Chain A
Amino acid sequence: MLKMNNISRIYQSDTIQTHALRDFSLNVGAGEFVAVTGPSGSGKSTFLNVAGLLDNFDKGQYELDGVSVQGLKDSELSRLRNEKIGFIFQNYNLIPDYSIFDNVDMPLRYRGFSSSERKRRVEQALEKVGLASRMKYLPSQLSGGQQQRVAIARALAGEPKILLADEPTGNLDSLMARQVMEILHDLNKEGATIIMVTHDPDQAREVNRNVQIIDGQLADFKIYAPLDRKSQSDDDNQSIASVVSKEVHKEEVDA
């Protein structure tokens, strides 16, 4: 799904040259859930920006879903971002004066879908994150967790090949963070490929694979056994699941 070979990204100011990524290589297969960890300034966000085609790279080869991205024009890169990648940002990045529907609809507008197809996809994506009843709300009328779920719906609506999440729970309290992680895990179970940058070692341990970046290089390569969530204490698991489902149910009733 994602193949990076010897990628380098260098930022150059007047006097300083910063190697944000150095000979960085990574392969992510379809259906994997990869956590990217590392200290601040290690190059995690640069990696995610390069992976998401939001930033260029100076050296190396990068292939996304079989497409080599070197030398592609702006319009081709934009189409790849639109069709193959779904972004989930730490700050949700919703447009405050657009309704939830319009926020989720945004990427579909550039895809050329008919209005009925867009409506179907938006409703389906919001259904998936439990916010189908809040389509006419503004982001400010939702909690942080709900806003992040809207952002996930926006990423899902285009049915991308890969989801790139940059600290998706970084601004959320533990309960809301749990809700978001549950959704990501569900999506992964359904076959979604996810790369998630996180600072939270617990979240990193929950996923198939943890990649550590230090000083722009791959520092360690940890493969965890697929999370056997049932192996955790049944009490804990039940309590989290029940709290999340109760919370979503409560939101739907409130709406």
Chain B
Amino acid sequence: MRNNSLLSYNILLAMQSFKRAKSLYFLIILTLSIGVGVLCANLALVNSMASDPIPEKSANLLHISMNTWPDVQPPDEPMHILRYRDAMRIAESDIPLRSAVFYASGVYARDIESTSMKRFDSRVRATTPGFFELADAPFAFGTAFEKSRGMEVVIGHELNQKIFAGKNSVGKTLELDGELLTIVGVLKPWIVRPLFYHPTEGRAFDLTDDIFAPLETAIDLGWSIHARSSSTDNYAGVNETRDRNVYYLQAWVELDDIAKKSALQSYLDNYSQQLKDAGEHPLAINNKLHNVNEWLKEAKVVDQKVLAFTLASILFLSVCIFNASSLLLSRFHAAKFEVGLRRAIGASNKHMMMQGLTESVLLGVFTGVIAVILSWFFLKISVQFLPRLANIAVLEPKLLVLGMFLALITAIASALYPLYRANRYTISAELK
């Protein structure tokens, strides 16, 4: 009861103190808010870049890189893109729980029932059916296609919004680059940040795809490769790539038990050795398996410049804390008389410390609110100058909480030295 009463009294005193020195407290709040806001905006970027996009099974999802380049001048590292037959060898294995082999493409799409001839430029993922379960793709309507060949597609939420206004479009037919494919599934809004299944070629922060098509069908239809590819053979179109040395497919597997990783490694190594023994490549056996986070690190998803700027933001926040501390010191110095008086009439050092801390916490709350708004504003500005940040400049709820927490900590840190000084004033010196 007594503590509650003192707490409410301390809150009242803090509010009176803010009213008494509005300009000074405004400066303190602004100083700390800018420091926290800038740091929070940077942390939002780092969080988007460094977070685990599929934490529940990221350790069990493995990206496969292989070294089967049939040439005497091989790349330094095993390639993250594979030939059709190498990729199919992986898909055939019964070691993984499931696998996904895919490549990125693009088509123009329209609803065949539409009277408009407008076609939507759409990103395509030509993939084996295992992709959906492997990547935990969430379905709003329908299901995944079941085979790698068939005139069926799954479409993403955004494309469904654009073409069908978000309604259930399962069973509708899309015209995709002149071919008719039926929609069997529609995804819910699906954010994968970073885009772990395709973080290379600067795509780590792209949105998920608009259309998911069966791999064999996409190859048969000659849907072109919209990502990195390498080849030692000439080919006229993607439909000619199955038996040629054209490297463009990516392969992921999901293990139900990570202990099976070594079995998978042996399986790949044996396969490479067989190719080598058959004289198909002259290279040392070098196949690599990376789980999601290892693969994102390998793909250098976290921008070093952003990390450097975050460090600079921390230093900037320190400067802000020093400034706020010196402003608070002047405020507390001006309040020496009141501190002396309160001590004389019965307030203990602890009371005065609690009064100061209550003021700091309230200051922190105000700072936190403004800092979060400023973070949002800084992110918006960042996107204006660097549009590629658009999909990662996101303030998640945990960042808002972090912003408030940082504001509280900085406000309390700023008040520590002034409070220490205020509690060392000689009581009688200020009173006559």
Interchain nearest-CB distance for A249 vs B (Å): 30
Which of B343, B346, B350 has the most chain A CB atoms closer than 10 A to its own CB? Answer: B346
> Contact check: which of B343, B346, B432 meets A89 at CB < 8 Å?
B432
Measured CA separation A176–B370 after assembly (Å):
51
What is the chain A residue whose CB lies nearest that of B350?
A: A75
Of the stretches B50-58, B102-110, B361-369, B423-431, the one at the interface is B423-431
Given A97-B16, A109-B6, A109-B9 in contact, is the A78-B343 Cβ separation under 8 Å?
yes
Interchain nearest-CB distance for A157 vs B (Å): 10
Measured CA separation A112–B342 after assembly (Å):
15
B344 at the interface (CB under 8 A from A): yes
| CB-CB contacts below 8 Å: A9-55 with B | 45, 49, 52, 54-55
Given A109-B9, A110-B351, A166-B432 in contact, is the A54-B346 Cβ separation under 8 Å?
no
Cβ–Cβ contact B346 & A79, under 8 A: yes
Interchain nearest-CB distance for B17 vs A (Å): 10
Interchain nearest-CB distance for A148 vs B (Å): 13
Interchain nearest-CB distance for A111 vs B (Å): 7
Measured CA separation A107–B344 after assembly (Å):
9
Given A54-B428, A97-B16 in contact, is the A112-B345 Cβ separation under 8 Å?
no
Q: Which chain A positions have C-beta within 8 A of B224?
A: none
B348 at the interface (CB under 8 A from A): yes
| CB-CB contacts below 8 Å: B315-356 with A | 337-338, 341-351
Q: Which chain B positions have C-beta within 8 A of A166?
A: 432
> Contact check: which of A55, A87, A97 meets B20 at CB < 8 Å?
A97
A74 at the interface (CB under 8 A from B): yes
Cβ–Cβ contact A55 & B432, under 8 A: no
Interchain nearest-CB distance for A53 vs B (Å): 9
B5 at the interface (CB under 8 A from A): yes
B2 at the interface (CB under 8 A from A): yes
Cβ–Cβ contact A89 & B431, under 8 A: yes
Cβ–Cβ contact B432 & A87, under 8 A: no
Interchain nearest-CB distance for A115 vs B (Å): 8
A83 at the interface (CB under 8 A from B): yes
Cβ–Cβ contact A75 & B348, under 8 A: yes
Q: Chain A interface residue count: which class?
A: 20 to 34
Q: Which chain B positions have C-beta within 8 A of A158?
A: 346
Given A95-B338, A166-B432 in contact, is the A55-B427 Cβ separation under 8 Å?
yes
Measured CA separation A77–B346 after assembly (Å):
8
Cβ–Cβ contact A82 & B345, under 8 A: yes
Q: Which chain A positions have C-beta within 8 A of B428?
A: 45, 49, 54-55
A185 at the interface (CB under 8 A from B): no
Interchain nearest-CB distance for B335 vs A (Å): 10
Given A54-B427, A55-B428, A109-B9 in contact, is the A81-B341 Cβ separation under 8 Å?
no
Q: Which chain A positions have C-beta within 8 A of B344?
A: 52, 54, 81, 87
A91 at the interface (CB under 8 A from B): yes
Given A54-B428, A93-B337 in contact, is the A106-B348 Cβ separation under 8 Å?
no
A90 at the interface (CB under 8 A from B): yes
A161 at the interface (CB under 8 A from B): no
What is the chain A residue whose CB lies nearest that of B346?
A: A82
What is the chain B residue whose CB lies nearest that of A90?
A: B432
A134 at the interface (CB under 8 A from B): no
| CB-CB contacts below 8 Å: A184-199 with B | none
Given A89-B431, A90-B432, A93-B431 in contact, is the A106-B345 Cβ separation under 8 Å?
yes
Cβ–Cβ contact A54 & B16, under 8 A: no
Given A49-B428, A54-B427, A55-B428 in contact, is the A112-B347 Cβ separation under 8 Å?
no
Cβ–Cβ contact B347 & A110, under 8 A: yes
A209 at the interface (CB under 8 A from B): no
Interchain nearest-CB distance for A193 vs B (Å): 18
What is the chain A residue whose CB lies nearest that of B19?
A: A97
Q: Which chain B positions have C-beta within 8 A of A115?
A: 5
> Contact check: which of B9, B337, B346 meets A78 at CB < 8 Å?
B346
Cβ–Cβ contact A78 & B20, under 8 A: no
Q: Which chain B positions have C-beta within 8 A of A106?
A: 341-342, 345
| CB-CB contacts below 8 Å: A97-149 with B | 97, 106-107, 109-112, 114-115
Which of A78, A82, A97, A114 has the most chain B CB atoms closer than 10 A to its own CB? Answer: A78
Measured CA separation A217–B348 after assembly (Å):
31
Measured CA separation A91–B430 after assembly (Å):
11
Mask of A144-156 contacts with B, CB within 8 angstroms, 1/0: 0000000000100
Cβ–Cβ contact B432 & A74, under 8 A: no
> Contact check: which of A95, A97, A111 meets B341 at CB < 8 Å?
A95
Interchain nearest-CB distance for B108 vs A (Å): 72
Interchain nearest-CB distance for A196 vs B (Å): 15
> Contact check: which of A45, A75, A90, A154 meets B345 at CB < 8 Å?
A154
What is the chain B residue whose CB lies nearest that of A87?
A: B344
Q: Which chain B positions have C-beta within 8 A of A82?
A: 345-347
Cβ–Cβ contact A54 & B5, under 8 A: no
Cβ–Cβ contact B346 & A83, under 8 A: yes
> Contact check: which of A55, A93, A97, A111 meets B346 at CB < 8 Å?
A111
Q: Which chain B positions have C-beta within 8 A of A78?
A: 343, 346-349, 351
Q: Which chain A positions have C-beta within 8 A of B350?
A: 74-75
| CB-CB contacts below 8 Å: B163-193 with A | none
Residues of B within 8 A of A (CB): 1-2, 5-6, 9, 16, 20, 337-338, 341-351, 426-428, 431-432
3 tightest A-B contacts by CB? A82-B346, A78-B348, A112-B2
Give 25 CB contacts A-B under 8 Å: A49-B428, A54-B343, A55-B428, A74-B348, A74-B349, A75-B349, A77-B348, A78-B347, A78-B348, A78-B351, A82-B345, A82-B347, A83-B346, A87-B344, A87-B345, A93-B432, A106-B345, A107-B346, A109-B6, A109-B9, A110-B6, A110-B342, A110-B345, A110-B346, A112-B5
